[in-house]
Every structure is written in C-alpha cells, then in structure tokens.
Amino acid sequence: MTSDTWEFSGRNLTSRLLLGSGGVSSAAVLSACIAESGTDVVTVSMRRAGASATSGLLPAIQAAGVEVLPNTAGCRTAREAVLTAQLAREALRTDWVKLEVIADDRTLLPDVLELVDAAEQLVDDGFRVLPYTTDDLVVARRLRDVGCAAVMPLGSPIGSGLGIRNPHAIELICGEIELPVVLDAGLGTASDAALAMELGCSAVLLATAVTRAERPELMAAAMRDAVRAGRAAHDAGRIPRSSLARASSPTTGMVGR
Amino acid sequence: MTSDTWEFSGRNLTSRLLLGSGGVSSAAVLSACIAESGTDVVTVSMRRAGASATSGLLPAIQAAGVEVLPNTAGCRTAREAVLTAQLAREALRTDWVKLEVIADDRTLLPDVLELVDAAEQLVDDGFRVLPYTTDDLVVARRLRDVGCAAVMPLGSPIGSGLGIRNPHAIELICGEIELPVVLDAGLGTASDAALAMELGCSAVLLATAVTRAERPELMAAAMRDAVRAGRAAHDAGRIPRSSLARASSPTTGMVGR
Amino acid sequence: MTSDTWEFSGRNLTSRLLLGSGGVSSAAVLSACIAESGTDVVTVSMRRAGASATSGLLPAIQAAGVEVLPNTAGCRTAREAVLTAQLAREALRTDWVKLEVIADDRTLLPDVLELVDAAEQLVDDGFRVLPYTTDDLVVARRLRDVGCAAVMPLGSPIGSGLGIRNPHAIELICGEIELPVVLDAGLGTASDAALAMELGCSAVLLATAVTRAERPELMAAAMRDAVRAGRAAHDAGRIPRSSLARASSPTTGMVGR
Amino acid sequence: MTSDTWEFSGRNLTSRLLLGSGGVSSAAVLSACIAESGTDVVTVSMRRAGASATSGLLPAIQAAGVEVLPNTAGCRTAREAVLTAQLAREALRTDWVKLEVIADDRTLLPDVLELVDAAEQLVDDGFRVLPYTTDDLVVARRLRDVGCAAVMPLGSPIGSGLGIRNPHAIELICGEIELPVVLDAGLGTASDAALAMELGCSAVLLATAVTRAERPELMAAAMRDAVRAGRAAHDAGRIPRSSLARASSPTTGMVGR
C-alpha cells in the first residue's frame, strides 16, 4: 500500500519529498538527513557551487546515490538565471533545473515576470524546467504553457516557517494544472507538509525546515512520514466537514436505556 | 529513531494512535484498519456491547491482539456513566474506561459538570479513568486533581471532521497538565493528527476519520504515519516562524556575481 | 436604520458595546473613552473598589451618566464571588453583577464548576447574573438553566488580544441560547468585535483592547463603529462563500466583444 | 476625530470605501447603497456601458453626486484593456481607470503579465491607473515602478466572499508600497473590511458584498462603519497579542483578600 512511484521530469521517483541542502551545517548532517528523509533528489544552489564542492556537500549528495537538482537561487534576472542554469548543465551534466528568479534578498519572493521569461528561454534551450513560483494560478498556467515540467508554488516566504498561507490558492492550482505541483518554500513542520499533500500536491520540497531544526535528522524522518501520510490521506478520501457532531456509534440497539 | 514506547494508564504502548470502532462497516474492515494503523488499543462502546458482540467487532479486536478500551459513549449523566463503566469492568475484566458523559445527541459535547462527578466516583471505585473532555484547561486540572490517568480533550465535535478548532487551548493544556493528553474527537485528516502531536499531545484517538473515510484502511495507514510524523516533529524542534524570508543558502561566497 | 435599542438584564440599552474600566490610566482617559465608545454600561471590579474610588474611576463613570455594572474580578471560589456580589449590591445599590470566578492569575480562565455554583446562589438571592464563562455550549446551557440573565463567553484569555479563537463554538452558543450572548474577553481590535457580532452575539464587552491601546479614545471610537458594523452585517444577510469567483458584472450585453 | 480626508489619484476623498455597481438589482437600490455607504466613488464596467446607461445606473451614480470610476472588467488582454480605457476616457471625460485584465471567466483572477503591460501603456498615455492585481508584493512593485497611482490587491477571488485569504501578503504590500493600497475583491462581510484597514490598507473597494447581500442598504451602512472602525483601530495602536492572560485589573490594592 505504501509503495508508490511517480514520474517527475523524466525520472521515476519513489519519494515525494525533495530536499534542499541550504542551511545545512555540515556534509555529515546532510548525509544523515538524506538517509532519514528517504528522498531521491537533493537540490543545490549553483551560485555557491564552489563553496558546496569545498564544503563537501556535492560529494555527500553523490555518495548518497540520490540525484542532484541544480537550482538558480540568488538570481535576480532572467539573464542571470539562464546563465546559471547553463553553467549547471555543463558542470553537472544534467538536463533539469530548479528555476528561481527572486526579486530581492529580504523577501526572496519570486519575480514572476522574469521567471516566465527565463522559463521560456530555458525550455527552448532543451532544459526540463522546474520553476519556483508564487501561488498564482494564472502564472502557473503561463509556466505550463511555455513548457515547464512542473510548477512549484510557495506556501510562504523561503525560510519563514509560516506554512501554507493560502491553502485555497494551492488547491486551485492543484485542481487545474495537470503537471506535477510541488509545494516549495515556507513549510515549518510536519503538519504543513501533510497539508500540502492533502491539498493535492504531487510532492513537497523543503530545506530549512529540516536543516535548521534543532535535530535535523529527526525532522527529516518526520517530513518523510508526513508526506506519506498526507498523500495517503488525500487518496483515502477524507470524511466531509460538518458543523455539528456525527455520532461514531449507532444510536439504535443500545443496551441499558 | 522511530521505536518509541510510552506509558499510558499502566500499559506500555508502542503506538500513539488509539482507534475507535464507531462507524466501522464490518468486522473485516475493522481488522484491516487495526493492522494498518499499528494501534495497540481499540475503544468500544459498552452501550452497544450486545450489538458489537453480535456483529463480531469484539472478537475481531481480540483476534487482532490489541487491548480493548471500553467507553461510556451515549451516557448522559454521571450515574449512567458510572453504571456503564462498572458493567464494562465485569464484562471485559479490565480496570480502565474511556469516560464519556455527553450533553445531547446533536452536539455530543461533553457535560463537564457530570464528567468531573463521574470521574471522581470511578477513581474512588478503583478505575483508571480516561475522560473525554472539552479543551478547557481548568476542567483538565480538575480531572487531574480527582485522579484521572489522562485527559482527552476534543479538537472539535465528534465526527465533525473540523480538526483542532482551538490549537491555543490544546497547547495550554499540554503545557501544564503532566498527565498524558490525548486529542480525542473531531480530527478529519492526517495533518490534523500531526498538528495534535506537534502541539504536545501524547497521543491521538480517532474513529470516524478512519472508519468513514472512502478507503478506511488507507486512512488508517495515513493516520499511523501522521502521528509518528507529528511526534517526531515535536521532538525535533521546529524552526521559528518569521514574517520575512530567511535565505536557505548563504549569501557569501557566491560564484558568478 | 442605525437606531437600535435592546433589552439587557432589565435595562434598555442603545449601545451594544459594554466597556470595562480595567487597565485605564486615569479617570480622565476613562471619561473620554466612555464618551467616544457611546456605551451605556461600564463594569468595575469590586475587589478594587477602594482603589477605584480613590482614583476617581467611580465618580467618572457616574458623571458620564452610564450605568455601573459591578464585577467579581479576582474571585477564585463561589464563596468569594457571592460575598463580593453582595457587597457590591449594598455599595452600589444595584441588582446586577458580572460574575467572574477565575481559576488562577496566570490564565484568568473561568472555573466553570465554581461559576455555575455561584450563579445558582446569586440567582436564588435575587441577582440578575451575567456570568463570564468559557465558549462551552453545555456550560452556557447550565447557566441559562439556573436562571442567569445572559451568558458571556470568552473569545480568548482576558487581555491576550488573541481575538476569537474558536468562532465555531461561539456560533453554536449564539444559535441555541435564547439569552443575550455577550462576547467577553480576548478581543484585540475592531475586526474582532465586528466578527463577534456577525457570529450572532448580542453585544461585546471589552476593556484592555481600549484602555491599553496606544490611543485609547480612538480605539473606543473604533470599537463603537465595529460593533455597529458587525451587528448591521449580521442583519443584512451576507453573501455566501464560494470557492470560485462570481462575476459582479453581467457577462451578457457586453459592448466591444 | 472621525473626519478624515485622503488623497487618491488626484482626488480628495472623505470616505475610504469605494463601491462597485456590479450585481446591483436596480438603479434605485444603487442610489440607496451609495447614500448609506457614504462613498465618494463608484466604479462602473465600461464593457457594459450600454447596458448601464439603459438600466439607468450611470444616471443614478451621477445624480448621487459621486465620481464615476470606469473599469475594464471583462478584458482579457492588455490590448482589450487599453482600448476599453480609451473609450471610457472619451465617454466619461475622466483621466482615471480601474484597470482589470482577467485571465478567465471562471476565476476572474488577474493576469499579471498582461496587467503590467497594460498599466505601462496607459500611464504613458496619460491615465491615472488603478490596477486590480494579486497579493504579490513583487508585482505591486512593478505596478508602482511603471507609474500606477495605486495598487489594488485582491483578498480572494471576485465575488467569492472568502475575505482576505492571505493577510500576511497584504501586510507585506502595505508595509512597503508607498502608494495607496486598496483591498479590492473577495470581501464578504464587515469584519473583512475592518481587517483590510487594520492591515494598513488605505481603502476598500467592494461590490457584491453589498449589492448581493439580502439587504444591500444595510450592508452598505455596515461597510461604511467597518471601514471607519478598521482605519481608527489601525491608527489607535492595538494591544499586542500574548499567549497568556493579562489582567485588566490591578492585582495590588485589592479589597477583601
């Protein structure tokens, strides 16, 4: 009942939890988090690739046997992001990229105009593009229409731990966009990840919720279970909400009254 | 990391998910749900004990090797509840009881005045009393003070699927009452169960969320994982919430800028 | 359209905002807040009656021409509260009392067992009893059944500013209890007060939200308008919520397409 | 204390409530709503200008002595919106326009890429542009940077009555964008309007919440008061939220203990 593979951007994955390496304190911690999380994919910022290599993050990821998903974290314009993606392709010999084009360092919010522009260029250049975006359904449609392989809306600002600020918006996206929808950014704890899956997301991507928890490995295990739980709950067909009680026990055939 | 036993009313349990049998469509479905949930304890209404026996629920629970926790569902007064608990003790040769004293059939809300009265009588009579109560901290203190073995506050009305309507109230109870706090009633889906554990509950008790889901077995598995996830997330020390973003990648040592 | 008198515990009031004097910095500020709020009733703690008299609060309230509602703030047992109410009756020559029986100084939460006991005694003694209680519908029924003149559930702990933590519970009370339901405690700002009225409350009682705001007089005016707004919105019959858009403009008869 | 004029797109307004005419059942109801709301501005869809003229809406608005704000409701592309705005300018001899470029009829969500394009063209053409947009701070910056006179983010989809789905996002916009921020779309009731003002919005624009309420005139009055209340509460400096109680009465100097 729990085995579940899914196709994501040309890969067959067994886990619906994607991990970011940002914020991790050491390669050893990252290795442990990867193992506990059960993830198949770890995303790495290419703009600190040198630092990552030096610090041993890339070797740790590769040693874990999971796939590296390069990202364009820190890029502010379509031009920067396209260049960074191209460098990543050469360095890592991979065809996919998590596309981030942020507006500023304070909010790290996506700049959707630059994002759509960059996505279009990268798709034309043969990439499988996985864009980090807002929870705007109409922008998600654009990203789909230019040929992205998924849409990755935020729950709340990166690293904020505020969870999913607008579940209604995420539900609208999941209900219409036929691509994989990956909740990316803002999650803080296990119930946030479960909720993302219950809303219909295909997967969850998170970094700081794990890497900056007091006990990163234990939070990685929590997130693994939460994503599985949310996925199963989504498929199991939850009971409807009702404003009054509904007896769980039959009221007929009672003894003693 | 995932093995975790805890003491509950004199039992050593391995699971923090307690299951109710209310609303289940057949003994076969109940058996499957017990297996998937990983639970150690199933609660059964004694006022339909005859019906349960007839329908084979009790044999199914006993065959599963889990412990039966009798409850006083449907009782409206302390007197009724005490009598029902005493009958349960004789019938099932057990010293514990999930104490329910409800006010009416429409809301199934606890009547806390009758509840405290019944709890006191049952403790005096040698029971280990597990009271289903509201999310009122002050009532929880009373139940503790009269000698209950746990407090079991509701998240929302029984069977409503509304989840935890007042997390703040549950958090206050968990932060002060040293007894096991078991979230009992109102949960609808996996993220609700995870949240209960993140707020500090020791365990979760649910029935209709599983038994009346479209696919009860799959929801049982979801709840098993959700409870584990919420517990681990609680122990792992989540990141703080902040209103602005916090970069997951270092902003120093970047290449390309 | 905006004139609206209502009966509350034998009085005909024109305002649905009741004001507390707790936390106010001076008699002059209190006078200004009373004027701006448009209230007809101000509640005063009898356990600091001496202090109130000294500081001039009571004279300020009486000079404003509004009615004084004594309260039993700080009482921990039914016995203390009954005694305090009786002293208030003699001192102020009034038949009503806002009944508070709190459990402790840290949470200031009502102790509903002591509360029901005290309410019963005071009703028997001829008081019009206005009990500060939790958001528990079943306790509200008890208070009604022993003869209280209203029920006054909390939104959240006194002075917390957390607003209405469980609107669903307040709605259940308003939907069933035929007495005036007055939201008492926890409100922080204007939208909280409007929400209370929209849920069906008859009135709102608040103190610190006004007296400890940076500009108490302006907040008093805000609360006056918010209560009126919420009451009118309740009566006006709001549009239903729908998960998708509903065009405000007709889509037929358009020009230009 | 309650007189408060503000500058909006070159006008000095006395009310912070802007009214839409969409959904109104008759010219007479619209006249009554305008009077009760106290608004200075009513927005009208230019794509049904013919219908509006026929049905007498425009004459009703003009007879009320309030200003007409033409909008481009129903436009799907920048080109359509620009053309519609230009027709409006000629027909109504006005320099401002509420710019709407929606993506589809089912969600009525703004298409922010088309929106920014249209805004830029209209600013260049000499319009004062008031764009209906999402709650995306980065898009709001773009609209400011191309020269819009305000930003008008949605609370939730038009006509949904879901209120403000993401208060955090609205707060971010109000905290950074120096232009008037007008909450536009999705509000259902008075507390929603008060909340918008408390978050820092300069004004609120709504249509169906009033025009489709059971009693439109009464809801117009409710919204008038709610906007005033929210504005005053914002300026009054609310008390902070705290997880525990804060006594409103001093605990020293008590009598009777």
Tens of pLDDT, residue by residue over A190-220, are 999 999 999 999 999 999 999 999 999 999 9
Residues of chain B with pLDDT under 70: 1-3, 48-55, 245-257
Averaged confidence pLDDT in chain A: 91
pLDDT greater than 80 at residue C78? yes
Q: Which of D16, D47, D98, D142 is catalytic?
A: D98
Min Cα–Cα distance to chain B from D100, Å? 29
Pairs across B and C, CB distance < 8 A: 56
Q: Say whether D112 and A110 touch across the interface (CB within 8 A).
A: no
Contact residues, chain A, for B1 at CB < 8 Å: 36, 217-218, 221
User: How far is Cα B21 from Cα A188, in angstroms, rounded to an integer?
Assistant: 33
Name the residue among D109, D165, D168 with its Cβ closest to that of A137. Answer: D109
Tens digit of pLDDT for each residue in C88-138?
A: 999 889 999 999 999 998 899 999 999 999 999 999 999 999 999 999 999
Residue type at B244 in one-letter notation: L
Average of pLDDT values for C157-172?
94
Is the predicted pLDDT of residue A143 greater than 50, yes or no?
Answer: yes
Residue of C nearest to A243 (CA): C168
Buried b (16+ CB within 10 A) or exposed e, C49-76: bebbeebebbebbeebebbbbbbbbbbb
**Which pLDDT does position A246 carry in this prediction?**
59
Q: How far apart are CA D110 and CA C180, in angstroms?
A: 44
Q: Mind telling me the catalytic residues of C?
A: 98
Q: Do residue D238 and residue C209 have CB atoms under 8 angstroms apart?
A: yes
Residue of B nearest to C115 (CA): B113
pLDDT tier, C56 (very low <50, low <70, confident <90, very high otherwise): confident
pLDDT at position A47:
81
Which uninterrupted H or E stretch holds A231? helix A216-236
Which are the contacts of A127, defined by CB distance < 8 A and separation ≥ 6? Answer: A85, A89, A95, A96, A97
CA pair distance C99, C89, nearest whole angstrom: 13
Count the residues in chain D: 257
* Cα–Cα distance for residue pair C41/C61, rounded to 1 Å: 9
C239/D209 touch (CB, cutoff 8 Å), yes or no = yes
Per-residue confidence band for A252, with pLDDT thresholds at 50, 70 and 90: very low
Give the C-alpha separation, C147 to C127, whole Å.
10
* Interface test mutation site (partner A, options B109, B164, B189, max chain A beta carbons within 10 A): B189
Chain A residues within 8 A of B87 when measuring between CB atoms:
256
**Shortest alpha-carbon distance between residue A203 and chain C (Å):** 23
Spell out which residues of chain C touch residue A172, defining contact as CB-CB under 8 Å: 243
Radius of gyration of chain C (CA): 19
Q: Which two tokens stand for residue B246?
A: 């916090």
Please, which residues have CB within 8 angstroms of residue D214's CB and are 6 or more apart in sequence?
C236, C237
CA distances from B61 to B27, B184, D170 (A): 8, 20, 52
Q: Provide CB contacts within 8 A for D169, sequence distance 6+.
A: A165, A166, D135, D136, D137, D153
Residue ranges of B for the binding site for 1-deoxy-D-xylulose 5-phosphate? 159, 185-186, 207-208
Residue of D nearest to C239 (CA): D213
Report yes or no: A49 and A72 within 8 Å, Cβ to Cβ: no
Of residues C112, C162, C172, nearest to B112 (C-beta)? C112
pLDDT over 90 percentage in chain A: 80
Q: Does the beta-carbon distance from D139 to A109 stay under 8 Å?
A: no
For residue A173, what is the nearest residue in chain D, using CA coordinates? D107
How many angstroms away from the CA of B162 is the closest CA of chain D? 18
- Residues of chain A contacting residue D113, judged by C-beta atoms under 8 Å apart: 112-113, 116, 139, 142
Distance from CA of A138 to the nearest CA of B (A): 24
What's the pLDDT at A192? Answer: 98
Q: Which chains does D contact via 3+ CB–CB distances below 8 A?
A: A, B, C
Helices marked H in chain B: 27-37, 49-55, 57-63, 78-92, 112-124, 137-145, 167-176, 190-198, 208-211, 216-236
pLDDT band, very low/low/confident/very high, at C243 (cuts 50, 70, 90) = confident
What pLDDT score was predicted for residue C251?
Answer: 43
**Core vs surface per residue C201-232: b (16+ CB within 10 A) or e:** bbbbbbbbbbbbbebbbbbbbbbbbbbbbbbb
For the stretch B82-116, pLDDT in tens is 999 999 999 889 999 999 999 998 899 999 999 99
CA B255 to chain centre: 52
Choose the catalytic residue: A16, A47, A89, A98: A98
Helix (H) or strand (E) holding D68: strand D67-71
Contact (CB, 8 A) for C48 and D247: no
Given an 8 Å threshold on Cβ–Cβ distance, is D48 in contact with C254?
yes
Q: Which CATH number fits domain A13-235: 3.40.50.300, 3.20.20.70, 2.40.10.120, 3.30.70.141?
A: 3.20.20.70
- Mutate one of A170, A173, A242, A243 to test the C interface: name it (highest C CB count within 10 A): A243
Confirm or deny that C229 is annotated as ligand binding: no
Distance from CA of D238 to the nearest CA of C (A): 5
Test mutation, C170, C225, C243, chain D, max D CBs within 10 A: C225
Paired with C6 in beta bridges are C13
Number of other residues whose CB lies within 10 A of the CB of residue D178: 6
Q: Which fold has domain C6-236?
A: TIM Barrel (3.20.20)
- pLDDT tens digits, one per residue of B159-195: 899 999 999 999 999 999 999 999 999 999 999 999 9
Annotated catalytic residues of B are 98
Q: What distances in angstroms separate CA D203 from CA B226, C194, D52, D141, D227, one per listed residue? A: 43, 18, 25, 18, 8
Tell me which chain C residue has its CA closest to the CA of residue B140.
Answer: C111
Closest CA–CA distance from residue C138 to any residue of chain B (Å)? 6
Domain ranges of chain B: 6-236
